[in-house]
Amino acid sequence: MQKMEYSGTDSEGREFKNAEEMWREEIGEQGNVQKKTEWYQKAIGYWQGVEASVDGVLGGYGFVNEPDIKGSEDFLKSILSERFASSQQHLVALDCGSGIGRVTKNLLLRYFNEVDLVEPVSHFLEAARTSLSPEHGFISDDHKAANFYCVPLQEFTPNEGRYDIIWVQWCIGQLADDDFVSFFKRAKAGLKPNGLFVLKENIAKSGFVLDNDDKSITRSDSYFKELFNQCGLYIYKLQDQKGFPQELFAVKMYALATDSRKRTRGSRQKQQCNKPFIIK
């Protein structure tokens, strides 16, 4: 792993001169399996104590669900129309750290024929399974939640070539830098040839902020860009989330490609896809 020279703080205001210092304290030296396991167990313990509701997974800010989904939808639509021109395609997404399936239910299932969910906290995943079940009248054969994986991202490897979009929202802060990089490197193989990651995350003004309660870190834009570089990922599109309360972190949406092509489709193909992309 490359050295991360960013300084940062924790949720109690303690300062770290660089990320190495923080990681050494939190997960120990490289290869210290026990300390790293404790880091992940504390996080899971925190989320196990949280109610399986929109308010719960959004830390008491349930009301940001609406602007969040609206911002994500605009971003997703622009990507789909540029990158996935043919509405005949069978589109498949993966919702990472899905929680109760909020993003799947409110967004992904309207655009993708199949959505898989991966989430390590079983009561969240069970809530997702229930709310996305046929009994709740939500899915049809054409757009359904297909697979539910109860695994943390640092241990998850997606099936090869299955996904058009791998959506990672508000969960990558749980992963240490080395697991972040190895997750994305492994998960690249899960993308179809034209597939993309969408990473939607809180952004620190500079360096990083460690949250001692849920054992997550909020990284700055430069910190993320350094990690993308280590993953061999390129920013295809980037957008700021609008309409959140001032007291919250800024939020960015990154569409990440495994190659550096800016646009994969010519103008002719772009014209074709001005059609709405919603699965009805």
Among 19, 22, 52, 57, binds ligand SAM (CB under 6 A): 57
Strand partners, 216: 211
Site string for ligand SAM, 121-160 (x = CB under 6 A): x--x---------------------------xxx------
**Listed ranges 13-21, 99-107, 251-259, 265-273: which one lies at the site for ligand SAM (CB under 6 A):** 99-107
Restricted to residues 154-193, the positions that interact with ligand SAM (CB under 6 A) are: 154, 169-171, 174-175
Whole-Å CA distances, 174 to 73, 90, 112, 169, 247 = 24, 31, 26, 11, 21
Least separation, in Å, of the C-beta of 158 and ligand SAM?
Answer: 13
With respect to ligand SAM, which residue has the nearer C-beta, 142 or 240? 240
Binding residue per annotation — 154? yes
Smallest gap from residue 100 Cβ to ligand SAM (A): 7
72: contact with ligand SAM by CB under 6 A: no
Rounded Cα gap, residues 233 and 254, in angstroms: 11
- Sheet with strand 191-203: strands edge to edge: 144-149, 114-118, 92-96, 163-169, 191-203, 250-257, 234-240
Helix ranges, 49-103 (H): 54-57, 65-83, 102-103
- Is 263 among the annotated ligand-binding positions? no
Chain centre distance of CA 54: 16
Nearer to ligand SAM, 56 or 85 (CB): 56
User: C-alpha 12: how far from its chain's center?
Assistant: 26
Residues contributing to the annotated binding site: 97, 102, 153-154, 169
Summarize as ranges the residues that interact with ligand SAM (CB under 6 A): 40, 43, 47, 57, 97-99, 102-103, 119-121, 124, 152-154, 169-171, 174-175
